[in-house]
């Protein structure tokens, strides 16, 4: 079967069955073995042993068609959740107080739903910052109660559309535009008054919580505008038979919006068979029977998938709007096993019934007429017996676990005791290391002293032997004279060396004094040199400073001005000299002419001695 059917935005998630669900399915098939054979008009019914029951029927017996229909309904209920098998009132406090993980662990469909929602809630908020609006569609209101019981307390906002909510968290759904149409009166206070607007109208942080809307398939199919007030982004369907072409889905996808429909489908279930053959087999009765027979034959092939890493990849592809998101899903195809066994063999083959140790429960086919009350009692009796067997097996295994735990505790105690003893021994060893090291040091010192004493003893022994040899020798006086002569020579040589040493010491002292004097002179010259260098640096800085530059530029300007003045004066001098020469040529002046002039009266002292400045016309 294809991963998408009908609309392009429809996806099928393959679901398995837990061990508890398989046990319930086997119990249902054992009760409906006779009715299913009767409904199929199988020849194996004649070989089926008749069983007489002492229980009298209070109500009219159920027909084979009625029992077969009840079998299909109960199989669908058990495949969804074991609590849906028996139609009784579920206490509200039980759903509120039961831990969420414990509430869903009995159903693989609820587990996959939890993983799918968790992948959506924990998505990358940087890539997908907008809040999600998700709708969950279930078969019945009681199934919604279980879903809501699990979702209560999660970091989301819940809104129950179908049925009564278990606990009203008072979440209000509103659009992004929250502007009011009511006119706001203009404030009458003046600007001098205190303004409270900063405190009253502080901007609140935007709410990015995801929304979940819970509704039933029947409610949605009968009310097309049920979800029109909510901007739905995704639909998760517990009912795989829901029509993808409902008007409600068309309303959700208005304006070309991408709204994926994710259906949770139990593999090889009657619903799976109906979806795969609804277009090829037009007779509803045959399709209904064939779907039940397919499930009976292939129910042992339904396994619970342990690897669920693909759910995160699938959710990321869905949120990204990738049309190839279905490639991330596991294949969801019908089993094509050959039917070598007969229908009776398939019905009484309870291999899906988990074998438990410590129990005596033996599942057998029920071969008697049943009314509604007896049918419910049979289901309750078999389930209770199975639960009792589970409790007994649990007690046996718990006893085994406790025994192993006790043995492990004793082993751990022995290990701890060994560790304590090892610690004590290690402590004693560390405490004995100090005296041992001291003893080792004393031993090494004693051995070194013994070695030195042995060497001294050997030297003394050699001297003793030498003296003994000298004492025994007759030429001792000659040797003594030679030794004395040698000693005198050595003393004379020593005196010479002492005198030479004294002379060289005096020369060394003189050289040291010279070195000190020259070092002092060098230090003084070094100070003088540093002073000169400092003065040179200061003069260089002053020379390169702005004052010298200004004085220099001023002097240059003055020099230029004086040169121009000198040129002007020289030109004026040349002009005057030429002018004088020209005047002299015009008016020759000499001493003879001046003498021929009449003498001036002595009393006439007002004679003008200079030339008149009036023009002369010749």
> pLDDT, tens digit, for every residue of 42-82?
776 666 666 556 567 778 888 888 888 999 999 999 999 98
Q: Alpha carbon of 530 to those of 212, 534, 536: distances in Å? A: 90, 6, 10
In angstroms, rounded to a whole number, what is the distance separating the alpha carbons of residues 314 and 326? 7
User: In this predicted model, what pLDDT tens digit does every residue of 488-508 receive, in sequence order?
Assistant: 999 999 999 999 999 999 999
Give the position of tokens 């509430």: 103
For 135, list phi and psi in degrees, rounded to 5: -110, 130
For the stretch 319-343, what's the b/e string if a residue is b when 16 or more beta carbons lie within 10 angstroms of its beta carbon? Answer: beeeeebbebbeebebeeeeeeeeb
Residues of the chain with pLDDT under 70: 1-8, 44-55, 87-98, 169-208, 279-285, 337-341, 351-361, 474-476, 588-618
Compute the CA torsion angle 268, 269, 275, 277 (nearest 10 deg). 60
In angstroms, rounded to a whole number, what is the distance separating the alpha carbons of residues 146 and 94? 10
- The per-residue DSSP string of 374-442 comes to HHHHHHHHHHHHHHHHHHHHHHHHHHHHHHHHHHHHHHHHHHHHHHHHHHHHHHHHHHHHHHHHHHHHH
- The per-residue DSSP string of 249-295 comes to HHHHTGGG----EEEEEETTSHHHHHHHHTTT---HHHHHHHHHHHH
pLDDT value at position 528?
A: 93
* CA distance from start to end of the chain: 145
pLDDT value at position 181?
A: 34
In angstroms, rounded to a whole number, what is the distance separating the alpha carbons of residues 427 and 434? 12
* Cβ 321 vs Cβ 257: under 8 Å: no
DSSP state of 176: S
In angstroms, what is the C-alpha Rg of the chain? 62
Q: Is 609 left (phi over 0), alpha (psi -120 to 50) or beta?
A: alpha
* Cβ 381 vs Cβ 22: under 8 Å: no
- Sort 531 into a burial class: Cβ within 10 Å, 0-12 / 13-18 / 19+: exposed
pLDDT value at position 589?
A: 56
Strand bridging mode 234-237 / 211-216 = unpaired
């Amino acid at each position: 079967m294809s991963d998408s059917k009908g609309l392009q935005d429809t996806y099928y998630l393959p679901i398995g069955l837990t061990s508890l669900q398989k046990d319930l399915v086997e119990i249902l098939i054992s009760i409906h073995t006779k009715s299913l054979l009767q409904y199929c008009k199988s020849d194996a019914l004649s070989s089926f042993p008749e069983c007489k029951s002492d229980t009298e029927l209070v109500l009219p017996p159920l027909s084979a068609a009625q029992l077969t229909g009840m079998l299909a309904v109960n199989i669908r209920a058990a495949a969804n959740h074991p609590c849906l098998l028996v139609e009784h009132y579920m206490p509200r406090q039980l759903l509120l107080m039961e831990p969420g993980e414990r509430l869903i662990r009995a159903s693989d469909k609820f587990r996959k739903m939890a993983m799918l929602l968790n992948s959506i809630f924990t998505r990358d908020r940087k890539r997908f910052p907008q809040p999600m609006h998700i709708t969950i569609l279930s078969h019945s209101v009681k199934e919604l109660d279980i879903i809501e019981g699990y979702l209560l307390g999660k970091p989301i906002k819940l809104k129950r559309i179908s049925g009564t909510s278990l606990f009203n968290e008072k979440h209000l759904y509103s659009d992004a535009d929250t502007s009011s149409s009511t006119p706001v009166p203009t404030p009458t206070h003046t600007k001098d008054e205190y303004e409270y607007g900063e405190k009253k109208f502080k901007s609140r942080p935007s709410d990015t919580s995801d929304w979940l809307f819970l509704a039933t398939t029947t409610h949605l199919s009968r009310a097309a505008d049920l979800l029109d007030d909510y901007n739905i982004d995704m639909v998760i369907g517990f009912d795989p038979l829901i029509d993808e072409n409902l008007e409600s889905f068309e309303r959700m996808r208005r304006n070309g919006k991408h709204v994926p429909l994710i259906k949770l489908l139990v593999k090889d279930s009657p619903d799976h068979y109906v979806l795969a053959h609804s277009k090829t087999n037009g007779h509803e009765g045959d399709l209904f029977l064939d779907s039940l027979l397919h499930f009976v034959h292939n129910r042992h092939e339904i396994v619970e998938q342990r690897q669920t890493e693909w759910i995160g990849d699938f959710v990321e592809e869905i949120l990204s709007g990738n049309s190839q998101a279905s490639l991330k899903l596991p294949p969801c195809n019908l089993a094509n096993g050959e039917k070598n066994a007969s229908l009776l063999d398939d019905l009484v083959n309870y291999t899906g019934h988990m074998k438990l140790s410590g129990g005596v429960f033996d599942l057998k086919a029920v071969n008697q007429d049943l009314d509604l009350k007896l049918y419910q009692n049979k289901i309750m009796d078999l389930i209770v017996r199975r639960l009792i067997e589970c409790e007994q097996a649990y007690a046996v295994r718990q006893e085994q676990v406790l025994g192993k735990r006790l043995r492990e505790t004793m082993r751990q105690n022995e290990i701890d005791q060994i560790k304590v003893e090892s610690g004590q021994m290690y402590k004693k060893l560390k405490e004995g290391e100090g005296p041992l090291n001291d003893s080792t040091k004393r031993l090494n010192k004693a051995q070194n002293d013994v070695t030195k004493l042995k060497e001294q003893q050997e030297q003394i022994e050699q001297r003793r032997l030498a003296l003994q040899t000298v004492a025994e020798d007759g030429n001792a006086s000659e040797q003594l004279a030679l030794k004395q002569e040698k000693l005198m020579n050595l003393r004379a040589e020593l005196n010479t060396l002492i005198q030479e040493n004294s002379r060289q010491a005096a020369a060394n002292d003189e050289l040291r004094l010279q070195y000190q004097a020259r070092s002092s002179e060098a230090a003084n010259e070094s100070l003088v040199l540093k002073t000169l260098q400092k003065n040179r640096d200061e003069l260089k800085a002053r020379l390169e400073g702005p004052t010298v530059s200004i004085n220099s530029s001023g002097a240059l300007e003055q020099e230029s001005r004086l040169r121009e003045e000198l040129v002007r004066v020289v030109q004026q001098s040349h002009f005057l000299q030429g002018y004088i020469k020209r005047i002299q040529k015009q008016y020759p002046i000499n001493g003879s002419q001046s003498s021929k002039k009449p003498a001036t009266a002595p009393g006439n002292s007002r004679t003008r001695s200079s030339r008149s400045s009036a023009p002369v016309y010749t």
